[in-house]
Structure 1
């Protein structure tokens, strides 16, 4: 028993109502960054010490 299209649409609408349109991209960015760090740690790759332009504070 899986989720059908109507159920998925209702879930998406509920998420939009709960979090709003502005918070969702921030949440997805955080989830993506966490997944990337997790994969890098499993592969044994060292963390990058240099900050990227998006990590620098805005002036």
Structure 2
């Protein structure tokens, strides 16, 4: 439908983004995007590890999941928050 984007189109898109958001807000937006990507990556890794450990562990010896803290960046305590793991009520 749109075809491939060439260099002139990409440059035009970047110029429009800079005009819309302004040069002052772009670093903050990039930083928050990076934090979001790190959080998403760590959560995906934790879910994968949790899935692997639950397949190997026997079902009769289940313990409640421990509370863990999600951090956006090392040393960034302002965005840390404790998280309770969701319980799966569909399994019996």
- If the TM-score is normalised by the length of the shorter chain, which range does it land in? 0.7 to 0.9
Over aligned residues, Cα RMSD in angstroms?
A: 2.1
| Structure holding more strand per residue | 2
Could you tell me which residue of structure 2 aligns to residue 13 of structure 1? 15
**Match among 2, 16, 29 for residue 31 of structure 2:** 29
Higher helix share: 1
Higher relative contact order (CA 8 A, sep 6+): 2
In structure 2, the gaps of 5 or more residues are 48-67, 79-92
Displacement after TM superposition at 1:33 (Å): 0.3
Label 1:55 to 1:18 Cα distance change in 2 as closer, same or farther (>3 A): farther
Deviations 1:2-58 (A, max 9, x none): 10000000000000100110100100101110010000001018524xx72x656xx
